Amino acid sequence: MSDSYSQQPNLETIGNKNGMRVTIMDWGATIISLKVPVFGESEPREMVLGVKDPALWSTQNCYFNATIGRYANRIASSSFEIDGRLYKLNSGATHCLHGGVDGFDKRRFKLIDKSSDSLTYTLHSPDGDMGFPGNFDLTVTYRVGNDNSLYVHYLGKCDQKCYVCITNHAYLNLNGKHSSVLGHTLWLDAKEFLPLDADSIPTGEVRKVSGTAFDFTVPKTIGRDFNRDPQLLQALGYDHPYLIEGDGTKPFARVESDDGKVKLEIFSDYPAVQFYSGNYVNVGGEVEARDDGRIYGNQNALCLEPEFYPDAPHLPQFADVNPPVTPTAPLDKFICWKFTR
């Protein structure tokens, strides 16, 4: 079997009694397809971006719907210290993004359990992998509920202290077709966000969303205030961490398709969510859309990635909500996407 990323992928499909179907690829424990029944439509509607042939997943460099690790988002200067020891990360760039040049999105996970509605995968990351300390073992479980939810649970154990942040980089488009998402309506239960510098690294400031283009506490279309802020002009759109509160029992976000037929609630027990409006989908490589073969454009999807704060190793003032994994304190987090009418 080929060890080249995305070649000879193993696919598994799970679902529920309503006709919701989710297909997962072992490379990156990646969501290849997420189809949800929509009232009045004869076929379930596709909710995520993707290419027609999973074996061609390597033609995209946007991390489409993959498991991200060891550390999702950015770590400044591709390094951090733990207990006085410096760790240099293999990022191939000034700053480390999504775990480095060979992150978890490009690894073949092992399927260890499956049923009609759930899949469980594991991945072993050895000590020194991409520069991160400790032997790290990750278990990822996907489960489809009869309430049209997709729940994913992350359990990560490490034999050394290490900064870890695992998420899913789902590229959502609730229109079910190749289209812009600037007409999607978004509500975010977040009163604060983290401003970024020119390299998309948090400055350390916490800024109120009230009175700014970043305010989604009252639902509005993503495009309404698009680029009406220096931060948005710098990032070519939304690509910022919002601070969320709670234990995951209430949704932190609601998204509605342009036609109003699909509504999505998102839950998580992470302290932040990166809201990304797909500003670079068409930067650095053209990807043919699976539904019509045309090239995906920027803002053809949105991402809401629950996670710890970006660059948390360099933000000690927020250490209480961004703890490292230790041999006695594993990573134990979840994300849930729930589709409603």
- Residues linked to residue 26 through DSSP beta bridges, in sequence order: none
Tell me the pLDDT of the chain averaged across its residues. 97
Residue 333, domain CATH: 2.70.98.10
Instruction: Categorize the per-residue pLDDT at 341 as very low, low, confident or very high, splitting at 50, 70 and 90.
Output: confident
In a domain, 164, yes or no: yes
Annotated catalytic residue 95 = no
pLDDT exceeds 80 at position 134: yes
The four Cα atoms 45, 46, 47, 53 give a dihedral, to 10 degrees, of: 180
What pLDDT is stored for residue 285 in this prediction?
76
Query: How far from chain centre, in Å, is Cα 125?
Result: 20
In a domain, 5, yes or no: no
Is 110 in contact with 12 (CB distance < 8 Å)?
no
In a domain, 2, yes or no: no
In the chain, the number of structural domains is 1
Helix (H) or strand (E) holding 139: strand 136-144
Instruction: Categorize the per-residue pLDDT at 2 as very low, low, confident or very high, splitting at 50, 70 and 90.
Output: low
Strand 110-114 relative to strand 263-268, pairing: unpaired
At residue 329, what is the residue type?
Answer: A
Rounded CA Rg of the chain: 19
In a domain, 90, yes or no: yes
Annotated catalytic residue 305 = yes
In a domain, 4, yes or no: no
Q: What angle do CA 177, 180, 182 make, to 5 degrees?
A: 135
162/144 Cα distance (integer angstroms)? 31
Query: How far from chain centre, in Å, is Cα 279?
Result: 15
In a domain, 240, yes or no: yes
Q: Which domain holds residue 175?
A: 11-340
Mean pLDDT of 284-296: 91
| Peptide bond before residue 74 is cis, with ω within 30 degrees of 0 | no
DSSP 3-state of 318: helix
In a domain, 35, yes or no: yes
13/4 Cα distance (integer angstroms)? 22
Mean pLDDT of 222-242: 96
Residue-wise pLDDT tens digits, 236-264: 999 999 999 889 999 999 999 999 999 99
pLDDT exceeds 60 at position 1: no
Mean pLDDT of 44-72: 96
Strand 67-68 relative to strand 239-243, pairing: unpaired
Residue-wise pLDDT tens digits, 152-208: 999 999 999 999 999 999 999 999 999 999 999 999 999 999 999 999 999 999 999
198/231 Cα distance (integer angstroms)? 9
* Stated pTM of the model: 0.97
Which residue in 46, 95, 98, 169 is the catalytic one? 169
Which residue in 46, 256, 305, 307 is the catalytic one? 305
DSSP 3-state of 58: helix
